[in-house]
Amino acid sequence: MLRPRREALGSEWRFAYLRAIRAAPNANAAAELPRAASSWKETMSIVVMKFGGTSLADADKIRSAARRAIRSQKQGHQVVIVVSAMGKATDQLEGMARQVMRGSAAPKREMDQLLATGEQVTISLTAMALEEMGAAAISFTAGQIGIITDDKHTRARIKTIDARRIHEQLDAGRIVIVTGFQGVTERGHVTTLGRGGSNVTLVALAVALGAEVCENYTDVDGIFTADPRIVPNARKINKVSYDEMLELASLGAGVLHNRAVEFAKKYNVPIHVRSSMNNKKGTMIVAESESMERIVVSGVALKDKLARISLHNVPDQPGVAAHIFHTLATHNVVVDDIIQTVGEDGTAAVSFTADPGDLDDARVACEKLATTLKCDVVYEDHLAKVSVVGVGMRTHTGVAEKMFAALAHAKINIQNITTSEIKISCLIDRAQGAAALRVVHDAFELGGRKKPARKTRKIAPARPGKRSNHTRERPT
């Protein structure tokens, strides 16, 4: 929970301070105000909010997000808003690129230039909504506030953030709106952070600004034990650890980007995932506590689109694996799971999974490997991965047996198994992905309990001579 720190100073000091700082934003305006107002500025906490595309899909939803930001400012916080592109804007831009390219792969630099425009529309409209409601606001692109990334187009990583410009505007009493999902290189080229990258911007800004907590507003009430669109009886989790959320995000839970969780864990910044449609408490993502280990499995996840590339007849020699994955890395292929099996004729088979979006780059790399290693390459793009996650696995047994038995009972074949200290994942056919998620979720009894039916009893008619009522049902 956010804790406003200045209520005792009252609105009079707050508005006097804001008027003074707006009149002389570069001067030490607080020095000319009573000591209480100066103390109010020094103890002001920062709230960083992020609104996803569905929460900003039209003008009414943009105004709703603006009202939430104004309410937080009135509670005594300085407010920064990170926004995604409106609704399906990113999908539409990608579709236009595919039409122009007629089946060829678009240059990644130009894709970044194109996709970055979606958030630029949203920041301006959000600033307009705030101004129309009487709140001072200013919008910035990532480049304008110095979000510097590496040069990996379409999947860049943030290197540094210069927070001075944001602090200047916050101290001037403005709500600051920033484009999520993007940055610029040191040479000024626009980059994007990959799908879900606005969550990375959210947490990175919270760290850079020293915010106590960041709030991720989305179209669901929080983090659920499974995707509620696939598992109807999935229930909301009130609190989850960074490690569990990192695994869930990496394994297909779409609410948060795994790099956002990495940032939050590293700098111990709590993330509150909640709905933009109501004021209910959501899910807090926080450092692990001892009580969390009592829950064996916290959630299950499905990554429903995976490709597998297998290299057969690879020389079984030292250094070959290093050569394979060095080649993949130079082509910016992010590898998921790896498995190697050794044959009896001095060769091995090396398989790895990757996002289907990396398949074109993987083909280029693997064709080179096929030439240099004289091996055969097989590509598959019809796979999915179902996983169970929970810190309680460290101290409890039987999790793997229960998961495998549930899949076997549903006649779902396991093609590969990977584990870590707090997760077990099974590679399966994509067509069985949704069914696998449901059966595993039920096996660990993660669903919300149904409310028992209300008992009723009949009221007998009155005796002769007495006033009579019709027989009716009454809850007990």
Q: Residue 463 above 70 pLDDT?
A: no
Average pLDDT over residues 65-86: 96
Instruction: Give the rounded percent of residues in the chain with a pLDDT score beyond 70.
Output: 85
CB 190 within 8 A of CB 135: no
2 touches 212 (CB < 8 A)? yes
Of the chain, the percentage scoring pLDDT greater than 90 comes to 73
- Strand 456-458 and strand 416-420: the pairing is unpaired
pLDDT for the residue numbered 395: 86
Classify 278 as helix, strand or coil: coil
Does position 443 have pLDDT exceeding 80, yes or no?
yes
Q: How high does pLDDT run on average in the chain?
A: 85
Mean pLDDT of 257-267: 90
Average pLDDT over every residue of 60-86: 96
Which pLDDT band holds residue 357 (cuts at 50, 70, 90)? confident
Is the pLDDT assigned to residue 19 strictly greater than 50? no
Task: Assign 276 a pLDDT band (cuts: 50, 70, 90).
Answer: very high
DSSP per residue over 201-243, as a string?
HHHHHHHHHT-SEEEEEESSSS-BSS-TTT-TT--B-SEEEHH
How far apart CA 252 and CA 307 sit, in angstroms, is: 14
H or E element at residue 258? helix 258-267
Residue among 163, 209, 175, 169 at smallest CA distance from 21 = 169
Average pLDDT of the residues in 442-447: 93
Residues 176/136, Cβ–Cβ less than 8 Å = no
- Over residues 85-111, mean pLDDT: 93
Residue 196: pLDDT band with limits 50, 70, 90: confident
**In the predicted model, what is the mean pLDDT of residues 402-420?**
96
Instruction: Please calculate the CA angle 252-274-233 and round it to the nearest 5 degrees.
Output: 60
Token pair for 444: 């660990």
pLDDT band at 449; cut points 50, 70, 90: low
Could you give the CA distance from residue 445 to residue 414 in angstroms, rounded to a whole number? 21
| Model pLDDT, residue 37 | 37
Which pLDDT score is estimated for 265? 93
Set out the domains of the chain in order of their start, with CATH numbers. Answer: 7-28+40-219 (3.40.1160.10), 300-443 (3.30.2130.10)
Does position 31 have pLDDT exceeding 70, yes or no? no
pLDDT at 178: 98
Per-residue pLDDT of 415-440, as tens digits, reads 999 999 999 999 999 999 999 999 99
3-state SS class at 429: strand
Order of strands, edge to edge, in the sheet holding 416-420? 335-342, 347-354, 299-315, 376-389, 423-429, 416-420
pTM of the model: 0.77
